[in-house]
Homo-oligomer: A and B are copies of this chain.
Amino acid sequence: MELLANLRDSTARRSRAAGKLAACVLRDPEAVLSMTTAALAAEVGVSEPTVNRFCTGLGLKGFPDFKLQLAAELARQQPRVAPDIEAGDSSSQVIAKLFEATRASLDRVQAGLDDGAVEAAVQTLEQSRSISLCGLGASASVALDAQHKLMRFGVPATAYTDVINQRVLTTNIHSGDCLLCISWTGRTRAMAELAELAAAAGAAVIGITAPGSPVAAHCGPVLAVEGGEDTELFTPMTSRLAQLVVIDVLATRWALLRGGDYQAHLARMKQVLADTRYPAGKSGGRS
């Protein structure tokens, strides 16, 4: 576990040969899997026992063990592919495939998400007087979800899921306000116009949308959520979940930035909610 991260760690004290070996493994980890000690030694230009010492030095049993660990770690981080759902699929097949497809879309969105953009978006939120969340269609529920989430963290935000209300909103926001536009395709006319109007009014506009799209064009920080799969029949819905994770990221990062008081806040909120609930029972009832 964390083998590659370990090798990547530049703070680790390493001998010259070990450094070359680490670099070689990082350069092409897959290739190492089909190499013998001798092959890797030759590749790097060191002796065979050095390769062995390198492995034992990592706390492993030897070179074969090293390859085993490496294979496991590579498999774990290899992006998943969304399986096709077919007409005859049973419930259990649909379950397996849909969960797998969801994981695949998480992989894809995570890969495309720029942490600089996240940081910029959080900064923008931080400095805003008010926050408005807008989404239409499937993204409407995402906007509502975001509103709920931010509220939990003690941040007042308002979701607008109605084209008219969204238009009215643009007449009320100005410099110092923030609009968060959620659009899967990034090509919904109403949303692009909304972003444009808000930007023109001087508001900061954050996009959770497809990069390079009309909506993205009018946004400041753009959190890339590449859609791009309406080709498949069932997948669009799985990938939309990734938008929600992106919002989780924003909310969490912000909460961390603001420091310790949110913890007390969350505890207080839990107390308030507890009164609306039955107490936790014996069988599976958790808070």
Contact = CB atoms under 8 A, between A and B. Distances in A.
Contact of A145 (B98, B138, B210, B213): B138
Interface in A241-287: 241, 244-245, 248-249, 251-253, 255-256, 259-260, 263, 266, 270, 273, 276-281, 283-287
Main secondary structure of the interface of A (DSSP, over half): helix
A148 B280 CA distance: 32
Contacts of A226: 284, 286
A188 interface: yes
A263 B233 contact: yes
A141 B142 contact: yes
Interface in A190-244: 190, 192, 210-214, 226-231, 233-234, 237-238, 241, 244
A214 B284 CA distance: 10
Contacts of A64: 64, 67
10 contacts: A73-B75, A85-B252, A87-B259, A91-B116, A91-B122, A91-B253, A95-B115, A185-B277, A185-B287, A230-B270
Contacts of A17: none
Number of chain A interface residues as a range: 35 or more
Contact of A251 (B237, B260, B286): B237
Contact of A285 (B92, B187, B234, B237): B187
Assembly stoichiometry (copies): 2
Interface of A: 33, 64, 67-69, 71-76, 78, 85, 87-92, 94-96, 98-99, 102-103, 106, 110, 113, 115-116, 118-119, 122, 137-138, 140-142, 144-145, 148-149, 185-190, 192, 210-214, 226-231, 233-234, 237-238, 241, 244-245, 248-249, 251-253, 255-256, 259-260, 263, 266, 270, 273, 276-281, 283-287
A276 to B, nearest CB: 6
A275 B144 CA distance: 25
Given A85-B256, A278-B192, A141 B145 contact: yes
Given A192-B278, A211-B284, A248-B98, A256 B185 contact: no
